[in-house]
């Protein structure tokens, strides 16, 4: 898989975004602990998510090393919902989040954790590695926010590009009688800003079908017909605008 530029200086790297100038990787919506949470609801899933998450990240880091000759990133930004449970910290979350942070620190100088709506209890885990959970982060005119609420900061108002997650965008593509759902990035605008909505890095579920579902994020409560769709498969596929797929 190659890096595909979605905006000048911002490239899609599988399910992540790479900020070229800053040498920063952005991922989001990992939802570690998902299998244990489902088990508590009576839905028992094999526990492969963490292993598959690490495997996918290793491929991304290998891609960056190969194409950019960069040995170590300046930072990895986790844009919200690193954990899945809202009001507690499960044993699975404790173990896997610490292991993931250690893994990311092996490939970057720092890890920045942006708070998502599922991350109410993330801070105690982050403190084990000396990391402070932030509400959002401004990076050279680019504003990274989870997307479950509209930020009320001056940095957000001044930003020209906003990068959000939260909705886990996916798109259903039909071939004959068969329809299949794929994770995707979508690119559009929000009140004059360019907006990139990232797919989830959750390895268990695909996401929310942008062609059918209602949206929770205030950033997504708008007409998406002019948004461009970038489907993630064996490579990145540009599918044109939402209106052309419908």
Q: Which pTM value belongs to this model? A: 0.93
Tell me the pairing of strands 161-164 and 142-145: parallel
Domains in the chain and their CATH numbers? 4-245 (3.60.21)
pLDDT values of the chain reduced to their tens digit, one per residue, 246 residues: 789 999 999 999 999 999 999 999 999 999 887 666 655 666 555 567 899 999 999 999 999 988 776 678 999 999 988 887 767 778 888 899 999 999 999 999 999 999 987 777 889 899 999 999 999 999 999 999 999 999 999 999 999 999 999 999 999 887 766 778 999 999 999 999 999 999 999 988 888 899 887 888 999 999 999 999 999 999 999 999 999 886
- Which tokens is 103 given? 């893994």
Q: How many whole angstroms separate alpha carbon 147 and alpha carbon 42? A: 30
Angle at 184 between CA 115 and CA 5, to 5 degrees: 90
CB 234 within 8 A of CB 240: no
Tokens 């052309």 belong to residue: 244
The rounded Cα 6 to chain-centroid distance in angstroms is 15
Angle at 62 between CA 57 and CA 68, to 5 degrees: 120
| Dihedral sign (CA 47, 49, 55, 58) | negative
């Amino acid at each position: 898989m190659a890096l595909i530029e979605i905006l000048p200086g911002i490239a899609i790297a599988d399910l992540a975004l790479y900020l070229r100038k800053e040498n920063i990787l952005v991922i989001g919506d990992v939802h570690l602990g998902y299998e244990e949470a489902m088990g508590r609801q009576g839905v028992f899933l094999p526990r492969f998510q963490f292993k598959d998450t690490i495997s996918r990240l290793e491929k991304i880091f290998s891609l960056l090393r190969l194409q950019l000759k960069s040995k170590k990133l300046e930072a990895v930004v986790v844009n919200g919902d690193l954990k899945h449970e809202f009001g507690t910290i499960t044993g699975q979350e404790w173990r896997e989040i610490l292991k993931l942070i250690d893994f990311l620190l092996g490939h970057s100088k720092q890890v920045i954790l942006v708070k998502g709506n599922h991350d109410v209890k993330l801070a105690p885990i982050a403190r084990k590695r000396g990391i402070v959970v932030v509400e959002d982060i401004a990076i050279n005119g680019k504003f990274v926010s989870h997307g479950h609420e509209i930020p009320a900061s001056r940095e957000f108002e001044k930003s020209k590009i906003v990068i959000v997650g939260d909705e886990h965008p996916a798109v259903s593509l039909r071939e004959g009688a068969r329809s299949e759902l794929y994770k995707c990035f979508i690119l559009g605008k929000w009140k004059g800003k360019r907006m990139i909505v990232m797919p989830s890095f959750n390895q268990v579920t695909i996401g929310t079908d942008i062609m059918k579902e209602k949206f929770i994020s205030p950033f997504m409560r708008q007409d998406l017909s002019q948004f461009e769709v970038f489907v993630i498969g064996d490579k990145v596929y540009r599918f044109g605008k939402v209106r052309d797929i419908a």
